[in-house]
Amino acid sequence: MGTLFKKKGSKKWQMGLWIDGRQQCLSTHTSNKRVAKQMLKLKEAEVFEGRYQLTRSRAPRFKDYAEEFLNKVVHPNTRRRYASSVAHLKAYFANSRLSDITSSRIEGFKERRLVSGVGPATVNRDLAALRRMLRLAEKKRFISRTPFAEVELLEERKYRREPHIVTFEEEERILAVAGPHIRILVVLILETGMRSNREALNLKWEDIDFATDSVRIRESKTRAGVRTLPLSGRCKAELLRWHDLVGPQFSVYVFPNMRTPDRPLKDIRRSWAKALRDAKLNCVFWIYNLRHTFASRLSATGLSDLFVAQMMGHSTPTILQTYAKVIDEYRRSAIQKLEEFRVAHEANKKPQSASIN
């Protein structure tokens, strides 16, 4: 059996539960006795059914558990992603114990992040990290259950900016003014669909096989991203030209840092922005949009979504709804074909009308 009580000077009801001969005290986070009684009954049911089992020690503080969580993330890219979110989570939950993180406090975190000016997608990445942390804490019996059963992620699709699909004319203008490393990077992404930072910039010369016209992606965002891609004649020619300028004799990386050739290039934001300015385009977009363009062009040729997803390094084709958009050239081509069909139909009708007269 459990009991309800209040700590001295507190308006919130506390629950006292006997578990394995040891009393556990939990806050109901409410001053309403009726609600507190209902929560107590739920906890008593969990204890009776064996679903409520905590470790002998108290739940760790969030900041300590967060460090332990990050240290056990194996993939470096995933660790960096989680580390960014954990930094914001630690700033909010600070010294709170895991057992004190409730759905209402998570809602408070969501509101604070939105007020700070970040978008729903960024907040959802933080929530995903927290959800993963609390699920593991539940498995370790640090908490009885994760509060995410009562938390919903933010709707982000309606706020997501539509990707810019690069036209062939825009592509020509960019290539005409881009620096050598930006030029080859643009062609490589447009012809293979590689991720710019995680795949293309980390590419090594040993990953490119000019004999078989293929390139091997050894490290990627996901397991599905590890793949072998064929090289088009145009892409191969550009890579060979770049190979003569900056080949293996200079660095093992296809895109090396010119100051420290033993390291890959990490940041191309300035040179990419300069290429867009010099091309005098009416829009500004991230280089990642070239990957969207690759997917759209493949889809426009009539290839199946499954094949396009495999080329992109996706585990399922459902994500293509985000990447593949019908590009303007093919829209115009479709309308042109429709017009040609109408003209041909009218031309076939004229001889029949003349014969009747």
Q: How far apart are CA 177 and CA 245, in angstroms?
A: 18
| Mean pLDDT across 224-230 | 84
| Mean pLDDT across 173-189 | 95
What pTM, to 2 d.p., does this model score? 0.59
Q: What is the residue extent of each domain of the chain?
A: 3-48, 62-157, 168-285
| Mean pLDDT across 344-356 | 63
**Per-residue pLDDT, 56:** 46
The 10s digit of each residue's pLDDT in 189-198 is 999 989 888 8
- Max avg pLDDT among 151-155, 316-320, 329-333: 151-155
**The domain 62-157: what is its CATH number?**
1.10.150.130
The 10s digit of each residue's pLDDT in 7-17 is 888 888 888 87
168-285 folds as hpI Integrase; Chain A (1.10.443)
| Mean pLDDT across 307-335 | 65
The C-alpha angle with vertex 100 and arms to 55 and 6, in degrees rounded to 5, equals: 95
Checking if the pLDDT of 6 tops 60, the result is yes
Higher-pLDDT residue of 69 and 298 is: 69
